[in-house]
Amino acid sequence: MTGKTINSAIVLLILGNALAVISDVFVKIMGSDASIFQFILLRSLLTLVLLIPLYRQLNRKRFLEGFRIHALRSQMHLIGIFCMVIALTSLPLATANAVFYVAPILVMLLSVILFREKLTPLSLFAVFSGFGGIVVILRPEEFSWVGISALGAAAALAINAVLVRKLPKQQSTIHKLFLDYLLMIPTVTLLVLWEGADWDPSIFFSALGSAVFIMGYNITVLLAYRVVDANRVTSAEYTGLIWAITIGWIGFGEAPDLWFLLGSCMIVLPLIWTGLSQRRQNRVRAQSHTLADDRLRNPDDQ
């Protein structure tokens, strides 16, 4: 794998994270008074429309294989979007995004609970540092249901990431994404009817913008991880926080304070450190396997 390939993947991830933050901007400008369930319904329908040109990646013969896990993931996704909208429309853009980055830490904890994986000392440090970072960013006096919503969005992301392991291996990412949104629609439709809010046509603009840009993020991530191993470029994912700070500052006048910067470092830096450590370990294992193979091929050299 060439350095040029890795650099291309990093550029894709940096671009993708910018697109994800722009998607958040469309949610933020919608305002806290808008109907969240109408937004989720519209975004789900629009995402399905955007996925139609990629229908060839759907396994139509086994379309509903793994239905229970798909259904569970779709409902968790619905909860996650609901919490995300509350957080983005009530918190500064960068603050909400910083809390969202707790998701990888929660994935570590869930992997221990569900798959009995063991945390390394570095991973354990990342867990404690990450939760400490949340306290620093939100601070007890500012910790409210809005902050809890941001944590809820991160938890939903983490649960969905862990449940991916339970899905059929042969299903494409597009197939999983399509079923995720499709199975969300019946529930959110009922919630729209239950809410009974007057239909707000202005939400369409936010839903369309959010759907288009989050789809752009998904495609860039898919392309990046198709050409390079995830552990080599994962740290580029955290550039999303830089984009959130920049766009929040320029677009909404949300200047980050020292508490935010400290808390963000406590969340992100240990995760980057953990990713780099795993990358080094994988490289050592690969070199060990290569040496072992060489010895098997050339026993006379020993």
**Three-state helix/strand/coil letters over the chain:** CCHHHHHHHHHHHHHHHHHHHHHHHHHHCCCCCCCHHHHHHHHHHHHHHHHHHHHHHCCCCCCCCCHHHHHHHHHHHHHHHHHHHHHHHHCCHHHHHHHHCCHHHHHHHHHHHHHCCCCCHHHHHHHHHHHHHHHHHHHHHHCCHHHHHHHHHHHHHHHHHHHHHHCCCCCCHHHHHHHHHHCCHHHHHHHHHHHCCCCCCCHHHHHHHHHHHHHHHHHHHHHHHHHCCHHHHHHHHHHHHHHHHHHHHHHHCCCCCHHHHHHHHHHHHHHHHHHHHHHHHHHHHHHHHHHHHHHHHCHHHC
Query: Distance (Å, rounded) from C-alpha 35 to C-alpha 29?
Result: 13
Judge whether residue 40 has pLDDT over 50.
yes
Look at residue 302 in the predicted model and tell me its pLDDT: 47
For residue 291, is pLDDT > 50? no
Structural contact between residues 146 and 155, judged by C-beta atoms closer than 8 angstroms: no
Range of the domain at 61: 3-301
Q: Flag whether pLDDT at 207 surpasses 60.
A: yes
The pLDDT of 41-64, averaged and rounded, is 92
Q: How many CB atoms lie within 10 A of CB 190?
A: 11
pLDDT for 76 beyond 70: yes
Q: Please report the pLDDT score of residue 292 as a whole number.
A: 45
Residues 72-98, buried b or exposed e (16+ Cβ, 10 A)?
A: ebbbbbbbbbbbbbbbbbbbbbbbbbb
Number of domain units in the chain:
1
Q: Is the pLDDT of residue 225 over 90?
A: no
d(CA 230, CA 217): 15
Rounded average pLDDT over 90-108:
87
Tokens 């006048």, located at residue: 253
